[in-house]
Each structure stands twice: as structure tokens, then as C-alpha cells.
Amino acid sequence: MKNIDSIGHVTGRSLYLDDLPTIQGTLFGVVFDSPKAHGKIKSADYSKAEDFPGVVRILTSKDIPGENQIGGIIPDEPLFADGEVHFMGQPIAFILADTETIAYKAKKLIEMEIEELPVITDPREARAKDQLIFPPRTFQVGDPESVFDSCDYVIEGEADNEGQEHLYIETQGAYSVPMENGHVRISSSTQGPTAVQRTAARVLGVPMHKVEVDVIRLGGGFGGKEDQATPWGVMTALAAQLTKRPVKLAMHRMDDMRMTGKRHPYRSDFKIGLSKDLKILAYEATFHQNAGAAADLSPAVMERTLFHATNSYFIPNVKATAYSCRTNLPPNTAFRGFGGPQGMFVIESAIAKAAEEIGVKPREIQKANLLNDGDEMPYGQIMDQCLAKNSWDSLESSFDIKKLEAEVEAFNSENSDFKKGIAIQPICFGISFTNTMMNNARALVHVYSDGSVGVSTGAVEMGQGVNTKMVQVAADAFSIDPSRVKLETTNTTRVANTSPSAASATSDLNGKALQIACNKILDRLKEVAVKKLGVDASTIELKDEKVISAGTESDLDWKSLIQEAFVSRVSLTENGHYSTPIIHFDKSKEKGHPFAYHVYGAAILTVTIDCIRGRYDFDSVKLVHDFGKSMNLPVDHGQIEGGLVQGIGWMTMEELLYDKEGKLMSNALSTYKIPDIYSVPKEIAIKHLETEGHEAAIQKSKAVGEPPLMYGLGAYFAIQNAVKAFNPDYQLKFHAPFTPEKVLMGLYEKVGEVVPD
């Protein structure tokens, strides 16, 4: 089934936040944000801005009736800076004017004196200065320290990655309308409507039932609107409450890029010990997460780094420690993969370095250590229905890795101006929120008396196709045509206390809740049919809009059955609640069974670099992916191709640059480059791993949002191999992204020459 929004999308009729009709009297908001990364606000003079014609009001921390607090996990982040600023772009005030242009003009008239304090942008420096967001955590199994001595090879090194800007093409925004009795209705471009509602209630000092949050769809989220859509929703709600007028904020791109957090940069150390037969016996990793100025989602992101520190490999002795380091950057946040990719980059770097020193191919080490059923992960979960080896074997048999390698070698020996590189990237990604309490969802189903169906869930549609999958779930449950099912907006008054659409788990959680709701209605409908037809309950089923009794089609069809139920005063509305069974995790021991299941796969990436200019092109990515039993191939393929390309982008051209003063240098699309149509791999071949799927996945169709991003990690190693093929003097480095600059510098690096990375 095609994405249910397709027609709206290609005709431009789909509505996004900034497309909502403007209500008369609407005020437009512009955020005044800190021009310094760290300092004390000595004085602030808003009078000239307030006097500017068309300016209605300027809000600051003083105007907040409730708490000046938006921190979700740790209450350490004010909505508006009060007294001190901790990152460049931190909101200080909210200018409300008759037009956006006026608000921008007024912004320039605000006078502020800030006494500058020392700025930290590097997480290692932050750790050295004891600037931690919360205490470090360690996941351990066995005792690597005592095992290194008995290893045949022990390799140590550093592996760093930079951040990644989400660059959802629709920028952040919100539109709040004051309703009667102090209620406010927020239209928000958020992945987490409940977070917006809860935080708005806290800031406004009202109960949550006075705040309604509604989401139609997002023009991309990728994690960037999980927690960080909240401040804008809250600001407009606060402004609407105080001015009694509708207030809209649709951010300009540079404001968005400057004020919002990104994927976390990490600085990491590794030590890996192997036996002669390439078994990894011990692994130690220390992660320094650059959290930015406040916690945001960093604790959860850091946790997932630890969960995925060993990727697809079984290692009997592991010690992984992570520090969440406070710096003067915007609070970094969720981004597809959520800390997992950062952890996986380090183990892959360790393997690449070990392979170089031992004199084998990285794939030999990768293959020798793949997870099996019964293996224990450092966090205590015993692997079950493990498909790491199946994925690898399928990759080998489907795409003939050795032949591809031979082709690369032949090309390299025949060409002097171009070189190819190849790398293999296995993945293993745990599905569930690692915070067990978040693994639940609800759905509300109305069957209307004409047989049409309205479905509300806690899921937010942001291009991942969740609404399409929800239509499928409802249509399949009732065995009716999907055109009868309408997906309603995501609204906190219809489905409450939701978890954000994140962790790849949205379809599983909301889909299962929806199944439960539909099945409850279905049971009642069957009772109606039994009564009407006077047959045995066990023989009744609904199929293709018909009531089947003992294998024979009856006179009752869907519409007449619904009509019958309606006149019989049977409830055609139902709520479903689902919470993932089995999962648990004990943080005091750092052990448990946090994931409902894992998603597996493996990819081969091939790149060609231009050795004159340092440019590169990806020839192909061939991959085997564990979809389970995909319930929607076009949607799932879109997720694979999209995630992969985003991952390649992060590893190659997407270079997030801050200067020493904490100022974002790559602050627009002209300086922060994401893949365009010419920079995607020429070929992406996707092969399905044949499996039965997993019971915990919706219709046995496994979660697909985040895992494919991590195939992109291989891009780094493929490029590095190509550089090495041209320049034997080149020394391996692990500092993503591998920009064209690093390629060119690497191609012409000389022995003994220290090249800063």
C-alpha cells in the first residue's frame, strides 16, 4: 500500500504547521537569543524594541507564571535564560509583533550587556573540569583488564565523531490559540505532543488538561523534534495565554540551526584485545559525550551508546564507560540512532585499526566475532532469534564479497588518478525505548454508523509512514477496504500520556494498541452478527467486508453489520492500550532485558575517490536487511534508503563546525551540506533476509526507522581504504566525517608528517 499522504504531497495539499490558515489578530513571534556562549547578563534594555511600532509585547523569564523550566529528564534548562547564558542561541526573550518583519526589526533594538565567562566546546576538557551533566555509567561483563595480558594482540586508539544537523526541511514551529477558560490549543511540529503539553502546563502553571496539543504531520523530524520542538510550543502558548491572541512562530532556518541541538559529537578511547584466531577477547571503551549546555535527552542517548558499544559482536569481556560532558553548545539531542551510531563507530574503528596492525582484512575480524543465540550482551540480555550471522552469510552469498574486492584491487592496480575502497558494515540495533516505562501506547478507534472508521493514536507522522501502517492495521483487523479508515491528527485530548514518536518503536507500540482496540470492537461486532444470524459464535469471521458464517458468506456485510450494531446500541468506540511485555532493566546493576528484539543486517559499500581533487562518489551499497515480514515494502525501502544516505552524509560531507567561542560556523544550507541527488550511491541493492519476523513487531514487521542509518558508518572505512590504496604513507585516523578536505590531505600526507584532523 502506498503512503496514504502521497496524493496530498504531490499536489501540495498536505498541511504543515506554517500552512494553517492564519487567524485574524495573530501575533508573530521571533526569539531573541544569546549572542554569547557563556556569560552573565549584566543588563538588558528592551525599551527601544518595545516602543517600535507594531511590537505588542516582549516576554522574558519574568513573565512566566509557572516554572521557568523545560528540562525533560533533568530539570536543568530554563525556557528563557535568567541571569546567565550557557550557549550561543539560548533563548532570552520572545518578541511579539503584528508581523514577523516587525519582530525581526525590533530584535535588533534590544540592548544587552553580557559579561563573558570561559567557554568550553570540547567534551574532554569538560570532563577534566568536572563539568558532567550527571555521573558516569559503566556497562561491564567479564573483566577485560585481566584478559588483555593473555591476548595475542592488544590495540589502543581514539575514535571521534562530530555532530549532525537534523535539517528537517520544515523548520521548527508552533501556533497557539487561546481558548475559553484559560485553555490553550497548540498546533506544534513535534514528535512528542505530550512533552509539549506537559512542559507548557508546567511553564504556564496550569493543569495539563488546560493544554491541548495537536499535530497534523511534520516535514521531517529525525529526532530533532522529539524534545526540541517543546520550547517553541511552550513559548507560543505562554504568549497566547498572556496576550489573549493567537501566536505563531515559524522559525527561519538560520535561527533554527543556531538555537537547536544536534546529534552528539563524541570523543572516545578504545582498547581491544584479540586472540591469534581473531576472536575479540576483551574490549574497553570510554566515551565522552558532548552534551551541550543542558541535559535534554543526553542521559538516554548516552545509555544507548553503551547498549550498542559492541555492535553485532560477541565479546566476553567488556567494560564501556560513558561521560556526559557539559559544554557551551546548544543542548544536543536525539537523532536517528540515538547514540547507537556513536558507540558503533568506536568498535568499528577499533576493528579497523586492529586489522591494519595484525595484517588482515577488517571483515575477517568482523565475521569471526558475530553474535549468536545464547550470547550475553554486556547489559545482560541473552541473544535470542539472533540473525547477525544469517545476515552476514546472506550478504556473502548474495553479493560475492570476494569478487567485489578483487574488482576493487584490479581497478586500483590499473588506475593512478582514481582509487576505490570497499568496506563491510554489519548492524545490530535494539528495539524499545531503553527507558522501560516509555514502552506503551494507546489508540482510540471510532467506527461511525456509516461504516467509516476514524483512528487516533499517539504516533506522529513525519515521513516514516506510520499513519499508512496504522491504516493497514485497522483495515486488516476489520478486513475492510483501507479507504474506509481515516487517520486523525495526533492530539493529546484523544490519546493522552503518549511517548514520543521515536526509538523506531512507533509502529510497534501504536500498532499493537490499535490492534487491541480494533479487536475489542470486532468481538462486539461478532456478537451482533451471531445474534442477527442466529449462528454459533465460533464460526463467525469478517472477511473482505463480509460476515462469513461457518465458511459461508452471509447477507451481512460491513456496512449493514455496523448499522445493526448501531441500532442495537452497541458501542462502536474503543480504546486500546499496549505495553511491551518481557522487557526490564535494572539501572543499579546495569543489567536486564531492555529490548523487545533486535534488528540485524549487513552492507557492502564501495567508493571511488578522485586522487587529483579529493572528491568521492559511492559506486554502490549492497545490503541484506532483516525486515522481519515487512508489512509495507515501499515504506520500509524508503526508510532503508533514506537512513543509509543520512548515515553516509554524517560520515562524509556533513561537517558541523563550531569555533572556539562556541559559534556555529556551518550555520546555513550554504555551509552545512547534506546529500543531494548526485551524491547518493549510484546503486543501492536491498536484499531481504528471509525470516518469520518477530512476535513483538507489528504484524511481525520489524522496526525500520533507525537501524539502516548505521550502514552508513561503512562509508568512513571505505573512503579510508581508498585513500590508503593511493598513499601507502597514510596513517589510519578515526575522526568522522571524512570530508573531501580530509581525503585530499590524506592522499598527500607524507611519512612522519603530522596532519591535524
Partner 1 sequence: MVEFILNNETIQTDKPNGYLLLDLIRYDKCLTGTKIGCREGDCGACTILIGEWVNGRMNYSSATSCLTPIGNVHGKHVVTIEGLNMDQLSPVQQSMIDESGTQCGFCTVGFVVSLSGYCLENATPTYKGAIASIDGNICRCTGYKSIERAASNIAASLEKKEIDSPIEWLVSNNFIPSYFTGIGDRLQKIASTPTLNGHQVVGGGTDLYVQRPEEMVELAVGSISSDPSLRFISVEDETCTIGGGTTVADLSESKELKSTFPQLNDYIKLVSSSPIRNISTIAGNFVNASPIGDFTAFFLALDAQIHLAVNNKARSVYLKDFYKGYKELDKTGQEIISKISFQLPTKDSCFNFEKISKREHLDIASVNSAATIRALGGEILEAHISAGGVAPIPKYLAETGAFLKGRELSVKTIRSAAEVIQSEISPISDARGSEDYKRLALRQLFFAHFIKLFPDQIALESLTI
Nearer to partner 1, 421 or 614 (CB): 614
| Residue among 14, 554, 560, 563 that touches partner 1 (CB under 8 A) | 14
- For residues 542 and 500, the answer to whether their CB atoms sit within 8 Å is no
Question: Is there binding between residue 9 and partner 1 (CB under 8 A)?
Answer: yes
> Cα separation of 155 and 306, whole Å?
20
Q: Segment 364-423, which members bind partner 1 (CB under 8 A)? A: 416-417
* CA proximity to 440, closest of 370, 510, 386, 372: 510
Q: Stretches 319-327, 381-389, 508-516, 678-686: which one binds partner 1 (CB under 8 A)?
A: 678-686
The distance of closest approach from Cβ of residue 167 to partner 1 in the complex, given in angstroms and rounded to an integer, is 5
Selected from 677, 692, 751, 752, the binder of partner 1 by CB under 8 A is 677
Q: Which member of 29, 223, 465, 500 binds partner 1 (CB under 8 A)?
A: 465
Contact 611, 419 (CB under 8 A): yes
753 binds partner 1 (CB under 8 A): no
Three-state SS string over 630-695 comes to CCCHHHHHHHHHHHHHHHHHHHCCCCCCECCCCCECCCCCCCCCCCCCCCCCCEEEEEECCCCCCC
With CB under 8 A as the contact rule, which of the stretches 153-161, 539-547, 551-559, 634-642 interacts with partner 1? 634-642
For partner 1, the binding residue among 406, 555, 671, 690 (CB under 8 A) is 671
* Residue 340 within binding range of partner 1, rule CB under 8 A: no
**CA gap 452, 74 in Å, rounded:** 44
Q: At what angle do helices 713-726 and 633-651 cross, to 10 degrees?
A: 50
Name the DSSP letter for residue 581: S
Residue 680 Cβ vs partner 1, minimum distance, rounded to whole Å: 5
- The answer to whether residue 425 forms part of the interface with partner 1 (CB under 8 A) is no
Amino acid letter, residue 157? G
Which one-letter amino acid corresponds to residue 354?
Answer: A
Q: Is 109 a residue that touches partner 1 (CB under 8 A)? A: no
Closest alpha carbon to 674 in 695, 649, 692: 649
Q: Which of 87, 71, 89, 86 minimizes the C-alpha distance to 31?
A: 89
> According to the binding rule CB under 8 A, does residue 101 interact with partner 1?
yes
Among the listed residues 89, 144, 220, 299, the single contact to partner 1 using CB under 8 A: 220
Interacting residues with partner 1 between 591 and 630 (CB under 8 A): 611-615, 617
Q: How far is the CA of 154 from the CAs of 270, 272, 364, 561, in angstroms?
A: 10, 6, 17, 70
Cβ-based nearer residue to partner 1, 456 or 464:
464
**Please, what is the end-to-end C-alpha distance for the chain in angstroms?**
47
Whose cell is 513559548? That residue is: 235
CA distances from 384 to 177, 227, 389, 593, 672 (A): 50, 32, 13, 11, 41
Stretch that binds partner 1, among 307-315, 373-381, 435-443, 631-639 (CB under 8 A): 631-639
For partner 1, the closer of residues 39 and 662 by Cβ is 662
Is 18 an interacting residue with respect to partner 1 (CB under 8 A)? Answer: yes
- What letter represents residue 593's amino acid? H
- Residue in 684, 710, 722, 725 binding partner 1, rule: CB under 8 A: 684
Selected from 53, 552, 589, 678, the binder of partner 1 by CB under 8 A is 678
Check residue 53 for interaction with partner 1 (CB under 8 A): no
**Helix (H) or strand (E) run with residue 586 in it:** strand 584-586
Of 77, 227, 655, 706, the one binding partner 1 (CB under 8 A) is 655
x/- site string to partner 1, residues 145 to 184, per CB under 8 A? ---------------------xxxxxx-------------
Candidate residues 38, 57, 86, 105; the one interacting with partner 1 per rule CB under 8 A: 105
Nearest to partner 1 of 108, 587 (CB atom): 108
Nearer to partner 1, 453 or 745 (CB): 745
Least CB distance from residue 757 to partner 1, whole Å? 11
Residue of 193, 463, 594, 693 interacting with partner 1 (CB under 8 A): 463
Q: Which of 222, 307, 478, 711 binds partner 1 (CB under 8 A)?
A: 222
Could you say which DSSP state residue 710 is in?
G
The DSSP symbol for 376 reads B
Work out whether 8 is an interface residue with partner 1 (CB under 8 A).
Answer: yes
Q: Is 232 in the site for partner 1 (CB under 8 A)?
A: no
| DSSP string for 396-418 | HHHH-HHHHHHHHHHHHHH-SSE
315 near partner 1 (CB under 8 A): no
Question: Would you call 407 a catalytic residue per the annotation?
Answer: no
Does an H or E element contain 194, and which?
helix 193-204
Query: If binding is defined by CB under 8 A, does position 635 make contact with partner 1?
Result: yes
706, 741, 749, 753: the catalytic one is 706
Of 51-59, 130-138, 479-487, 644-652, the segment contacting partner 1 by CB under 8 A is 644-652
Asked if residue 21 binds partner 1 (CB under 8 A), the reply is yes
Select 279 or 673, whichever has its Cβ closest to partner 1.
673
Report helix, strand or coil for 409.
helix
Interacting stretch for partner 1, rule CB under 8 A, among 492-500, 503-511, 689-697, 737-745? 737-745
Window 249-268: residues binding partner 1 (CB under 8 A): 250, 252-253
**Is residue 670 near partner 1 by the rule CB under 8 A?**
yes
- Name the minimum Å distance from CB 662 to partner 1: 15
| Dihedral sign (CA 627, 632, 634, 639) | negative
Distance CA 337, CA 344 (A): 10
The answer to the question of residue 582 lying near partner 1 (CB under 8 A) is no
The number of residues that bind partner 1 (CB under 8 A) is 80
Q: How far is the CB of 674 from partner 1 (least distance, A)?
A: 6
- Choice between 267 and 742, CB closer to partner 1: 742
Amino acid (1-letter code) at residue 53:
P
The set of cell numbers assigned to 99 is 508581523
Q: How far is the CB of 10 from partner 1 (least distance, A)?
A: 4
Identify the three-state secondary structure at position 78: coil
Look up residue 371 and give its three cell numbers: 553474535
Contacts of partner 1 in 508-527 (CB under 8 A) = none
675 binds partner 1 (CB under 8 A): yes
SS (H, E, C) 101-149: HHHHHHHCCCEEEEEECCCCCCHHHHHHCCCEEEEEEEEEECCHHHHHH
Candidate residues 666, 699, 701, 721; the one interacting with partner 1 per rule CB under 8 A? 666
Q: Judged by CB under 8 A, does residue 2 bind partner 1? A: yes
Within 8 A by CB and 6+ apart from 13, the residues are 7
CB of 12 to partner 1, least distance (A): 2
Q: Which stretch binds partner 1 (CB under 8 A): 8-16, 83-91, 176-184, 235-243?
A: 8-16
Q: Are 499 and 531 in contact (CB under 8 A)?
A: no
3-state SS, residue 418: strand
Q: Report d(CA 558, CA 566) in Å as an integer.
A: 12
DSSP tag of 500? P
C-alpha cell recorded at residue 710: 548505521
Does 104 sit near partner 1 (CB under 8 A)? Answer: yes
190, 209, 193, 191: which is closest to 201 by C-alpha? 209
**Residue 25 found at the interface with partner 1 (CB under 8 A):** no
Q: Looking at this protein, which amino acid is placed at residue 90?
A: Q
CA 434 – CA 439 distance, rounded (Å): 9
Q: How far apart are CB 730 and partner 1 at their closest, in Å? A: 14
Give the range of 317-325, 397-405, 591-599, 632-640 binding partner 1 by CB under 8 A.
Answer: 632-640
Q: Which is nearer to partner 1, 146 or 483 (CB)?
A: 483
Does 5 sit near partner 1 (CB under 8 A)? yes
On the 0-12 / 13-18 / 19+ scale of CB atoms within 10 A, 537 is: exposed
DSSP 696: T
**Taking CB under 8 A as the rule, does residue 634 contact partner 1?**
yes
Which are the catalytic amino acids?
A: 706
